[in-house]
Each structure stands twice: as structure tokens, then as C-alpha cells.
Structure 1
Amino acid sequence: MQVTFLGTGTSQGVPMIGCTCAVCRSVDYRDKRLRVSVHLQVDGKSIVIDSGPDFRQQALRERIDHLDALVFTHEHKDHTGGLDDIRAYNFRQQQDMPLHAEPRVLEQLQREYAYIFADRKYPGIPQVELHPIVSETAVFEVAGIPFEPIRAMHYKLPVLGYRVGNFTYLTDANHLGPEALEQMRGSEVIVLNALRHEKHISHFNFQEAVDILEDLAPTRAYLTHISHQLGRHRDVEAQLPAFIRLAYDGLSVSC
């Protein structure tokens, strides 16, 4: 499996509009963070987890010329705002795009993108195929690839992370129950959100994420969904255990 980080930033991205902090003014390419998303290439399949508002830019940058499915963690706009840009794949591949998400998330997409689901469809709109994730524990298939859902909480909102083989991806969470932690245990690579150093109402902070990863002890781990408040990439990495790194946009890792 090849995992490419399409975006590693928080909902406002980095740099943030109007901010003049050292991180937002940084010239280090690793401090330029689009909204969070990953691209998985596994067994010849191309799958994206979350298509945020920067999806078009990310797909062009990474030359993703084929996409077999989209999987969503939850319904927030920084994870779903790029859905319209699947039109190019509809045209190239001449087929509907499978969307995998919990029923609540699919219902939200139907409200926000009502024109996609209208009875009388405008020519050229995205063509989609809905696949509800009906169990928060049962393994399901995405383009023939087994995905294991992992339940987490994003403040009071239930969200899903996913384990695909030895790779586990979890973003936008601030609570994991014992069962979820056991599902993650044994992963070779774990990606976990770490928003900033200060405690946050709906995201793990830096130390909380590090503590979880030190307990789970994967071979490698990466932090994502990073805000400008966490600090400059080079400075933060110096504070991390050797097996944990900060993800950055464009980083590609093998699992």
C-alpha cells in the first residue's frame, strides 16, 4: 500500500487567512497545509479518504488520474467540500463514483449537494453511488479492499477512522474507547490528529496524541490535522519520539 497525504491541515488550513504568525509566514513547504485528506493506492485500487475544499488542487498536484471510491470520516465541510470535483473522474471513467459513509453523513451530503440527487438532473453534475456504512465494527469493502471502521468521538459527534491492513487512519477525534484502541493495536503505521499544544474541545492535542501512540507502539506514526498553533514543522519534529513524525502535504509512505 502507498499512502499519500493530500492535506494535513486543520479546517482553515495553514497559512490561515489574515495571520502573520511565524508558522503562517514560514517559507518551509512543510508548513503549507491544505485541508486534511489521504490517498491510498492498494492492490491496484485508488481510494481517497475525505475530499475537502482543496481536493481539486490536491488531485492535480499528486496526478491522481483515476479514482475508484471516496470514503468519508464524517460530514464536516473541511472533509466533504470538494465532492463536486469528482465530475472529472465520472467523465474519464464513464461510471458513477462510489461514496462510502455512515447513513447520517450520506444524508448530509444529499442536503448540501441537493442538485446531485435531484429528480431532474442538470447535465454534467457529479454521478454518485451511495454505500452506507451500517455497522461501526463490521469490516466492509471499498473497491474490493477490506476497510475496518473504528469509532471515535469528535466532541459530541461520532466519527469513523479506518484500518486498512496494517495502516490505521484517524482524524478529527478527541476520544477513543478501549475497543477502538484495541482495533488500532498491532498496526504498522498509525495516523492520528494532533491539532495544537493546548487542550481542545474536539481534537487531540499534541501530548494526548503522543501518549496514545506511545501506548499503541506502531512501527511508524504520523500526526495530521495540524493547526498553525502547533508550531513550525522543524521545531515540532524535534520534540517527537523517533517513531513519530509530523505528516506534511505530499508525503508518501509505504505500508
Structure 2
Amino acid sequence: MTITFLGTGTSQGVPVIACGCEVCTSADRRDNRLRTSILIEAEDKTIVIDSGPDFRYQMLRAGVKHLDAIVFTHEHKDHIAGMDDIRAFNYFQGGPVDVYADARVRKALTREFPYIFDGTGYPGIPQVNVHPIGLEPFNIGEIKLIPIEVLHYMLPVLGFRVSDFTYITDAKTISETEKQKIKGTKILVINALQKENHISHFTLNEAINFAKDIGAETTYLTHISHRLGKHEDIAKELPPGIFLSYDGLELNM
């Protein structure tokens, strides 16, 4: 299984429009961060977790030629806005793309993309097969996903464990019950927005402490704001086994 970080930035991406800070003007490509998403490629299935506003470019940049499914973490625009661009996959694959989403996400998708779900069958609209999910494990082909509920301030958000890999974005608090689903994972991906306290995201120190509590062999930080600092500088501050992710990073499992 190969996992590619399609985007590692927060809702505004990095660089931020009109910002002249040292991160947004950095020449280091690792400081350029599209909205957060990952690609999972297994022997029998290729899936994406979240399709934000940068989805089209992410698919082109990663050279994705086939997509079986999109799995959604939650309904915020930076995680769902790009779903319309699955139309190209519909055309070349000759059929719909599977979509896995909980009740709140399904409601948001219907609101944001009413033409997909209104039954008119207008030519050229995205074709999807929607699969409801909750907190029970489910399979996409041979890929088994275990949902993990976290809180993004007061909004429930789903993370996912796939074998020894766990992916969590937009977390501020995680219950002890849900932590038990993560224990034993070898590779952890967790959000780390900035150093200063934030109402709905882990800070850098909170993410580090969470990673130490879980005890994964390797942790990658994602959903990163320009306020965190330059990649090169922050990387030097991190404890052993904890790294900043960056767009295009590939993990082979």
C-alpha cells in the first residue's frame, strides 16, 4: 500500500492570499501546502480521503488515472468542495465513483451539489454511489477502514485507521475510547495547526503530546497553517520520530 499526501495545508492553504509572511513567500516547496487530503493506493483499490477545493490539481499533480472511492472526514468546505471534478473519472472509467460519508456529510453534499442528487440525471453531472458510514469498520475492496471519532471544537469529525496507519485531521479533543482504536498503530498522521492555542485544532505541542501518548513508531503532522513557521525551522524543533508532512510525500507500507 502506498499513501501520498496530496495536501497538507489548512483551510486557506499556504501561501495564503495576499500574505507576505516568510512562510508564504518561502522558496522551499515544502512550504507550499494545498488543502489537506491523502491518496491510498492498494493492490485492488485507489481511494482518496477528502476532496477539497484543490482536488482537480491534486489529481493531476499526482498522476491519478483511476479512482474507486472518496471517503469524507467531515462537511467543511475545505474537505468537500472539489467533488464535482470526479466527472473525469466517471468518463474514463465508464461509471460512478463510490462515496463514503456519514449523515452530516451526505446532507452537506446534497446542499452543495444539488444537481447530483435531484434525480434529473442532467448530462455530464458527477456520478456517485453513496455509502452511509458511521463508527463501524467498513471495507473498500481489501482495504479495511476503522472510523475514529474526534471533535473539531464541537463538530464530530472522522479519522480513519487502515492497518497500521492512522489518519486524523481537524482534531482538538479525542476521547479515551476512540484513542484505544489508535493504539498500536505504527504510522500516525495528526493535525498541528500552529503554535498558539486554537479553539478547534491541535497546536504543535498538543499534537506532539498526543503522538507521544499513542506511541506510534512514526508520526507525521498535517493540516498546517502558515502561522506554524517554515518547514525547515520547525523540523529542527521536533522530537525523534515526529516529522512535518509535505505535499507529495509518499509512504510505502
Which TM-score applies when normalising by structure 2?
A: 0.98
Cross-structure match for 1:86? 86
Q: What SS does structure 2 have at the residue aligned with 1:210?
A: helix
Residue 226 of structure 1: aligned partner? 224
Root-mean-square deviation (Å): 0.8
- 1:7 match: 7
Contact 1:193 1:225 survives alignment (8 Å): yes
Measure, in 2, the Cα distance between the counterparts of 1:63 and 1:98. Answer: 20
Instruction: Identify which of 150, 157, 160 aligns with 1:152.
Output: 150
Distance 1:122 1:144 in 2: 33
1:79-118 map, 5 Å: 79-118=79-118
2:79 match: secondary structure: helix
Percent of paired sites with the same residue: 52
1:158-213, CA deviations, whole angstroms, 9 ceiling, x for partnerless residues?
01000000000000110000011111111110000000000100000000000010
Mapping of 1:187-202 within 5 angstroms?
A: 187-202=185-200
Q: Deviations over 1:20-50 (max 9, x none)?
A: 0000010000000000000001233110000
Alignment-derived partner of residue 234 in structure 2: 236
Counterpart of 1:166 in structure 2 is: 164
Q: Deviations over 1:52-107 (max 9, x none)?
A: 00011010001000001000000000000110000011011111111001011111
Measured after TM superposition, the shift of residue 143 of structure 1 is: 3.3
Kept in 2: contact 1:100–1:142 (CA 8 A)? no
Look up the SS of the partner of 2:246 in the other structure: coil
Instruction: Please give the secondary structure, in 2, of the residue aligned with 1:25.
Output: coil
- Give the partner amino acid of 1:61: R
> For the residues of structure 1 that align with 2:204 and 2:91, how far apart are their CA atoms?
42
Aligned partners of 2:143, 2:4: CA distance in 1, in Å? 17
Amino acid at match of 2:44: G
For 2:76, the aligned partner's letter is: H
Matched, 1:124 2:121: no
Q: What secondary structure does 1:20 align onto?
A: coil
The offset of 1:117, in angstroms, is 1.1
Instruction: Note the C-alpha offset of 1:230.
Output: 0.2
Q: For 1:140 and 1:101, how far apart are their aligned partners in 2?
A: 12
Equivalent positions of 1:201-220 (< 5 A) are 201-220=199-218
Hey, what does 2:37 align to over in structure 1? 37
Number of matched residues?
A: 253
Q: Displacement of 1:144 after TM fit?
A: 3.9
Q: What's the CA shift for 1:141? A: 1.2
Q: Could you say what secondary structure the match of 2:150 adopts?
A: strand
TM-score, length basis structure 1: 0.97
Give the 3-state SS of the residue equivalent to 1:235 in structure 2. Answer: helix
Gap runs ≥5 in structure 2: none
Q: Structure 1, residues 234-254: CA drift from partner, whole Å, max 9, x if none? A: 000001112011000000011
- Segments of structure 1 that go 5 or more residues without pairing to the other structure are none
* Residues 45 and 140, structure 2, Cα contact 8 Å, conserved in 1: no
Q: How far apart, in 1, do the equivalents of 2:78 and 2:32 lie?
A: 16
Give CA-to-partner distance per residue, 1:112-146, whole Å, 9 cap, x none.
Answer: 1001112222210100011000x32x211123421
Residue 214 of structure 1 aligns to which amino acid in structure 2?
A: K
CA distance in 2, matches of 1:59, 1:163: 23
**Cα distance in 2 for residues equivalent to 1:81 and 1:242:** 36
